[in-house]
Structure 1
Amino acid sequence: MRTASVTEAKNNLSALIDSLKSGQPVLIVDRGRPVARLEPARGDSREEQEGKLSRLVRQGLVRPRRGPMPSPLLRSQPPRTVSGASALEALLEERRQGR
């Protein structure tokens, strides 16, 4: 990993970005203490998406399904909306009721 001071990073940003293009991260230091790390940007590849999902599962924010999706669920029509209904009001009411 390349190291650069704040002043060097400010004066040579183009060169640092060129080194990022080759995949080399840059550590920015201020008086010898790390303050930032520049890393090459990556697209959202399938592996990255799976990594994000794994992180959400570990944090308990999502749960993976436990079996195949029930086929009647896939064949059924979604419920019809009621005219004048508000999703926000329905959500707030559920929260008031503790659901």
Structure 2
Amino acid sequence: MKTATLTETKNQLSALIDQVRHGETILILDRGRPVARLSSVLADDATASEGRIERLERQGILRRAKDPKPMEVLSAAPPRAREGASIVDALIEERRSGR
């Protein structure tokens, strides 16, 4: 959560509102003490998440897939280990093989 002083808030309100539109929440401080929180009234969880994703894209931290995987692939159950197999041994073998 970002913070801004009362003076910064008065001087940069438009910029702070733009950040809120993109999913950010701003804590407003008066002499170092929190007095208000600036957050979107329209944002539900999906909108806030989308705003965070867009912000990460702009910062170059995230790049969306060009061909996203179908949802059924993402929601499929993970594979199970063979009966009697050691997860640690499987992990070591996977690291050795470079997968």
**What TM-score does the superposition give when structure 2 sets the normalisation length?**
0.42
Of structures 1 and 2, the one scoring higher in RCO (CA 8 A, sep 6+) is 2
Rg larger for: 1
**What TM-score does the superposition give when structure 1 sets the normalisation length?**
0.42
